[in-house]
Structure 1
């Protein structure tokens, strides 16, 4: 089902993704961070649903379909480096901090930070051109009070 998108993601110089594919890739990255600690619970799924509804102005049904497709894509997707590069190419630098905020919201949803999540956040932020300081500021903005 996702063979064409995965093929484009794994090209040495992937072309910029169309908007629908960029949405799917970003949502799959949210699923990847949620799964990185070995748990993918209802709270994380709900958080991802809320993020994509808001970010893309989708109905609940559309957001659920996007999340379901993203869950399937994440399982088949290439390594995080190539996966993130495609997102970097699709999203301007000034909007990438929003990607980091969304990822931190998913990480912090269960009230705990796990080493696997922190490591993946550092990798993704770096690959997206976001500094550790900006990533930390994004985390503080979305952390529950």
Structure 2
């Protein structure tokens, strides 16, 4: 279903994604992070919907639909390194801290920090071009809001 989209996303020099495709790619990354600990809890799915509603001004129905599409895309997407690097090429730098905050909010949604989730966030933040300090600050901002 997402074969052409993934081919476009994984080209050596992917073009900047149209807004709807960028939303889908970022939503799929949120799902990948939520599944990193081997579970996909209802709290994480709900948090993903909230992040999508907040970031993109979506209705609950639109966010649920996008999350469902993202769950399918994530299952078909390649390894995290290639997938995240492709997103980095498609998303402007100034928007990536917000993306990382959304990822941290999903990781923290179930009230537990898992070593696997932490490791994945370190990898993803690095691949998005965000240093460890800025990632830690993003996590702290999310922890303060919860």
- Settle same-fold status: TM greater than 0.5: yes
Give the gaps of 5 or more residues in structure 1. Answer: none
Describe the superposition over 1:24-57 as per-residue Cα deviations: whole angstroms up to 9, x where unpaired: 0000000000000001011000000000011001
TM-align CA RMSD: 1.1
2:37 match: 37
2:129 match: 129
Indicate conservation of the 8 Å contact 2:16/2:91, yes or no. no
2:97 match: 97
Secondary structure (helix, strand or coil) at the match of 1:112 reads coil
Mapped pair 1:3 → 2:34: no
TM-score between both structures, scaled by the size of structure 2: 0.95
1:108 match: 108
Distance 1:96 1:10 in 2: 18
Within 5 Å, give how 1:62-77 maps onto structure 2: 62-77=62-77
> Please, which moves more after superposition, 2-11 or 19-28?
2-11
Describe the superposition over 1:74-103 as per-residue Cα deviations: whole angstroms up to 9, x where unpaired: 000011122112221222111110011000
1:78 match: 78
| Post-superposition offset of 1:123 | 0.5
Give the gaps of 5 or more residues in structure 2. Answer: none
